[in-house]
Amino acid sequence: MKRVVIVGGGFGGLNAAKVLGSRPGVDVTLIDRKNHHLFQPLLYQVATAGLSPADIAAPIRGLLAGHRNVRVLLGEVTKIDLAGRTVAVSAERFPYDYLVLACGAQHAYFGHEEWEEFAPGLKTLEQATEIRRRVLSAFEEAELERDPQRQQKFLTFVVIGGGATGVELAGAIGEMSRYTLARDFRTIDPTMSRVILIEAGPRILSAFAEKLSADATRYLEELGVQVRLSCMVTRIDADGIEAGGETTPAATVLWGAGVKASGIGAMLGSELDRQGRVIVQPDLSLPGRPEVFVIGDQAHCRDEHGEPLPGLAPVALQQGRLCARNILRDQRGEPRKSFSYLDKGHMATIGRSRAIGEIRRVRFSGFIAWLAWLFVHIYFLAGFKNRFFVILHWGWSYLTFGRGARLITSREWRSYPGSTGGDS
Amino acid sequence: MKRVVIVGGGFGGLNAAKVLGSRPGVDVTLIDRKNHHLFQPLLYQVATAGLSPADIAAPIRGLLAGHRNVRVLLGEVTKIDLAGRTVAVSAERFPYDYLVLACGAQHAYFGHEEWEEFAPGLKTLEQATEIRRRVLSAFEEAELERDPQRQQKFLTFVVIGGGATGVELAGAIGEMSRYTLARDFRTIDPTMSRVILIEAGPRILSAFAEKLSADATRYLEELGVQVRLSCMVTRIDADGIEAGGETTPAATVLWGAGVKASGIGAMLGSELDRQGRVIVQPDLSLPGRPEVFVIGDQAHCRDEHGEPLPGLAPVALQQGRLCARNILRDQRGEPRKSFSYLDKGHMATIGRSRAIGEIRRVRFSGFIAWLAWLFVHIYFLAGFKNRFFVILHWGWSYLTFGRGARLITSREWRSYPGSTGGDS
């Protein structure tokens, strides 16, 4: 019986466990810090009150309940002993014959870690509900505020980073203020709010063709989002931001500009790239350690042109399956296979009815792309129940322009930095 | 133009605002600490992972968006000046011609405020997700624990108070461990968990007829819940509880034993009852202050037999409507009406298919009562969307025995007292 320890229940780890589940000869332990698998591509919908946390997350235990040889543990890995082949969770040690590391990535602030407090990133459910709280609270503060300058500050939303996360956040906030909240307030007019998307490079969504970037920029502008390109952020604090020499007072700043791999990679003593990703062999194993695999956002793996693969859900999912199959090939005495990414295309959505997409050389944008995006995302949502309810929630929101999950839940709704609330 | 200030967006305040909304001659400001109206009767479903927060809560702004003369403010009332007729929210003062106080109640620990940390009550969404986290984390801890005694402690759930909240919590936890989680774990068997309901009086649900209390006790026992009657709790701490001279180690203790009215009542300098409720006139106004109304859980109002009315949603709802209509009667120069509670009956549910109910002198229990409970609660849920989605979520859970919202969301999933986890 081979003991396989998988660290991380994201797309990579979960799919590795599913392939190994119920196979004879393997005994799987999946360790995660969270009890739920998260459908990260839709996290921005939670942050902007379109969906509830439970719509895009499912308990890992429930997803793997049918695989009797898989054990799920909630815990944080504190040490990896490669020579002794054990993983430590607090005082407990788990011996392994195979180790799969699929610990994902988190936001990086390029040496400005002090910015995180003022500009949270979007990688976890907790961050999503925190962003939701900040965005909704800013409208509430503006409604209470009498000073026009401070009111404008509360109605200014800055999103840093023109990748998919930043574009989707900016589009959703623009849409929310234009449509959902338009009738809710009496003192302020939410449609007067400013949403600014800042990108350091010359265009947004640079992973897509130039024509599609231009389409996405136009869609954002139609929702009232101001797109600032080739603009570097030099300061973020409670007052707002400074970018391209210009100061913008803003109560809400969100970060979608950079990622770095999980710190667990550094425990391996192996070579890392600049983003902290572990450089892996073509079969996804650690150089010199064929029994250790690193996959997903945590791994630096090159495609056939020698380019590192992007940190996308389909890459992690396919890598999870491949490394599990390589473990099974070992058992059967067959040679391992190298990873080859089957690119089914990539997409990004802007607001309630626009998207852009690229499938190999085919490019599409607008409403048709949005429909395609909708179906692809619903199809890949883990667990049939979630898929079913997300369709309904979206159908409802689409027809009514509503956002049902507009909840501010926290002891202190005013506890974000930049608040000038007087109740402190 | 008469300025009406309503404090509190629960059943009382919301319905007062709806009656006054869009009426000529009144200008309404509704102030609440939270941005959402909460359907409290279903809060235990969030605490036990059956529903998501957004299913039972709706933004107050959204509910009142169509009433153009109603303004909603998110804020906490810090002072009430009865002589000057103003309400203060932080530094801001709101003058009123009429004041409606509908601030609700919170849990009371009978002078043992130190118990709150170990035994949270269930009045807010935050408390519900905290209880959900504690219950789900206890199963996770038990799965990791090797010492059988400590494992049993994690699998012991104590609910204090045999009123509707306590009975509904205990029933749902019993059902969750029997059905929902049964296949999810490998080391522990969730069906071996102990759920104990402790009631100081001689029977549970004492607001109902004796026969129905006995039925409810039997339904709880069928779900594996141990019901301890005439049992006083004398100690609650990180180790568990002491009740009736017996010590029970338990990691999860929940409180549903007593309530006290919001502290805002004490600002009035008027007579309060032992639970801190303001004693009001038959027209719901404050003695000597006809322009001030106190309603709902915050008010002590007697029925035709001289008995104080219970803290139930229908009482608050009807009082909200009556006090608003009395304000309108003042405008028309008509005499005010006294409050008379139209009792449409009361119900409590136990697990997935049992309930008890009493409508005037008609008593019913079992599956039929549960169906009735279901329809009544769905019918009264605020907002059509919520109603629609709750039906679907419940239908789904009923057919699959699932609980979709099994999320542990918190930075520190082990941060509850009584944890013996080693990662501190």
A175-208: pLDDT as tens digits: 988 888 888 898 899 888 999 999 999 999 999 9
Asked if A405 and B78 come within 8 Å (Cβ–Cβ), the reply is no
Asked if B404 and A386 come within 8 Å (Cβ–Cβ), the reply is yes
The residue of chain A with its CA nearest to that of B33 is: A413
Listed by number, the residues of chain A in 142-201 with a beta carbon closer than 8 Å to a beta carbon of chain B are 143-144, 181, 183-187
- Note whether A34 contacts B: Cβ–Cβ < 8 A: yes
User: Which of A68, A74, A176 is the best substitution to test chain B (most B C-beta atoms within 10 A)?
Assistant: A74
- In angstroms, the CA B191 to CA B195 distance is 10
A/B interface, count of CB pairs below 8 Å = 153
- Note whether B302 contacts A: Cβ–Cβ < 8 A: no
Q: Say whether B412 sits in a helix, a strand or coil.
A: coil
CA separation, residue B212 to residues B342, B356, B368, B369 (Å) = 22, 6, 14, 11
Q: B-chain residues within 8 Å CB-CB of A181?
A: 61
Q: How many residues does chain A have?
A: 424
- Note whether B396 contacts A: Cβ–Cβ < 8 A: yes
Listed by number, the residues of chain A in 59-88 with a beta carbon closer than 8 Å to a beta carbon of chain B are 59, 61-62, 65-66, 71-76, 78
By C-alpha distance, which of A421, A168, A289 is closest to B33?
A421
Looking at the complex, report in whole angstroms how far the Cα of residue B201 sits from the nearest Cα belonging to chain A: 33
Q: State residue B367's pLDDT score.
A: 87
- Note whether A406 contacts B: Cβ–Cβ < 8 A: yes
Q: A-chain residues within 8 Å CB-CB of B181?
A: 61
Q: State residue B49's pLDDT score.
A: 87
Q: State residue A182's pLDDT score.
A: 84
Residue at A315: amino acid letter: V
- Note whether B17 contacts A: Cβ–Cβ < 8 A: no
Examine the pLDDT at A421 and tell me if it is beyond 50. Answer: no
- Note whether A21 contacts B: Cβ–Cβ < 8 A: no
Q: State residue B415's pLDDT score.
A: 46
Mean pLDDT of A275-294: 97
CB-CB: which of B71, B91, B136 is closest to A35?
Answer: B136
Q: State residue B235's pLDDT score.
A: 96
Q: A-chain residues within 8 Å CB-CB of B389?
A: 389, 392-393, 396, 404
- Note whether A132 contacts B: Cβ–Cβ < 8 A: no
Looking at the complex, report in whole angstroms how far the Cα of residue A73 sits from the nearest Cα belonging to chain B: 7
- In angstroms, the CA A167 to CA A36 distance is 26
Q: State residue B23's pLDDT score.
A: 92
Q: B-chain residues within 8 Å CB-CB of A143?
A: 73-74
By C-alpha distance, which of B275, B270, B234, B236 is closest to B258?
B275
Asked if B407 and A55 come within 8 Å (Cβ–Cβ), the reply is no
In terms of DSSP bridges, do strands B156-160 and B252-255 run parallel, antiparallel, or are they unpaired? Answer: parallel
Asked if A385 and B408 come within 8 Å (Cβ–Cβ), the reply is no
More confident residue, A67 or A400: A67
Listed by number, the residues of chain B in 90-109 with a beta carbon closer than 8 Å to a beta carbon of chain A are 90-92
- In angstroms, the CA B402 to CA B106 distance is 31
Question: Rg (Cα) of chain A, in Å, rounded?
Answer: 22
- In angstroms, the CA A253 to CA A236 distance is 8
Asked if A73 and B385 come within 8 Å (Cβ–Cβ), the reply is no
Looking at the complex, report in whole angstroms how far the Cα of residue A217 sits from the nearest Cα belonging to chain B: 31
Asked if B409 and A125 come within 8 Å (Cβ–Cβ), the reply is yes
CA separation, residue A155 to residues A191, A199, A237, A330, B325 (Å) = 9, 20, 16, 58, 37
CB-CB: which of B35, B183, B187 is closest to A408?
Answer: B35
Asked if B406 and A62 come within 8 Å (Cβ–Cβ), the reply is yes
Q: A-chain residues within 8 Å CB-CB of B34?
A: 408, 413
Asked if B74 and A137 come within 8 Å (Cβ–Cβ), the reply is yes
Q: State residue B385's pLDDT score.
A: 61
| Alpha-carbon dihedral sign for residues B165, B168, B171, B176 | negative
Give the least confident one: A79-88, A246-255, A305-314, A326-335. Answer: A305-314
Active site residue A168: yes
Asked if B392 and A389 come within 8 Å (Cβ–Cβ), the reply is yes
* Largest pairwise CA distance in chain A: 74
Q: Give A351-354 contacts, CB < 8 A, sequence gap 24+.
A: A351/A171, A351/A172, A351/A174, A351/A175, A351/A219, A351/A220, A351/A222, A351/A223, A352/A175, A352/A179, A352/A397, A352/A398, A352/A401, A353/A398, A354/A171, A354/A219, A354/A222
**Phi, psi dihedrals of residue A407, rounded to the nearest 5°:** -105, 135
- The ranges of chain B with pLDDT < 70 are 382-388, 394-404, 409-424
CB-CB: which of A73, A91, A184 is closest to B62?
Answer: A184
Looking at the complex, report in whole angstroms how far the Cα of residue B183 sits from the nearest Cα belonging to chain A: 6
- In angstroms, the CA A276 to CA A26 distance is 30
- In angstroms, the CA A392 to CA A378 distance is 11
Q: A-chain residues within 8 Å CB-CB of B61?
A: 181, 184-185
Residues of B with catalytic annotation? 168
Q: State residue B121's pLDDT score.
A: 95
- Overall pTM > 0.90: no
Q: A-chain residues within 8 Å CB-CB of B409?
A: 53, 125-126, 129
Question: Rg (Cα) of chain B, in Å, rounded?
Answer: 22
CB-CB: which of A65, A183, A405 is closest to B184?
Answer: A65
Provide ipTM, 2 decimals: 0.82
More confident residue, A412 or B242: B242
More confident residue, B205 or A352: B205
Asked if A389 and B385 come within 8 Å (Cβ–Cβ), the reply is no
Mean pLDDT of A337-345: 92
By C-alpha distance, which of B112, B113, B120, B106 is closest to B298?
B106
Listed by number, the residues of chain A in 349-368 with a beta carbon closer than 8 Å to a beta carbon of chain B are none
Asked if B385 and A392 come within 8 Å (Cβ–Cβ), the reply is no
Looking at the complex, report in whole angstroms how far the Cα of residue A13 sits from the nearest Cα belonging to chain B: 18
Mean pLDDT of chain A: 89
Give the least confident one: A4-13, A117-126, A366-375, B254-263. Answer: A366-375
The first and second tokens of residue B278, run together, are 């303001």
Q: What pairs with residue B253 in β-bridges? A: B158
Q: State residue A398's pLDDT score.
A: 65
Q: State residue B55's pLDDT score.
A: 84
By C-alpha distance, which of A26, A24, A12, A22 is closest to A67?
A22
Q: State residue A378's pLDDT score.
A: 77
Q: State residue B22's pLDDT score.
A: 82
Q: State residue A345's pLDDT score.
A: 85
Asked if B407 and A65 come within 8 Å (Cβ–Cβ), the reply is no
Looking at the complex, report in whole angstroms how far the Cα of residue A71 sits from the nearest Cα belonging to chain B: 6
- Note whether A405 contacts B: Cβ–Cβ < 8 A: yes
Q: State residue A417's pLDDT score.
A: 42
Looking at the complex, report in whole angstroms how far the Cα of residue A403 sits from the nearest Cα belonging to chain B: 10
Examine the pLDDT at A72 and tell me if it is beyond 70. Answer: yes
Examine the pLDDT at A406 and tell me if it is beyond 80. Answer: no
Q: A-chain residues within 8 Å CB-CB of B411?
A: 126
One of A141, A145, A168, A358 is an active-site residue; which one? A168
CB-CB: which of A66, A91, A389 is closest to B422?
Answer: A91
- Note whether B385 contacts A: Cβ–Cβ < 8 A: yes
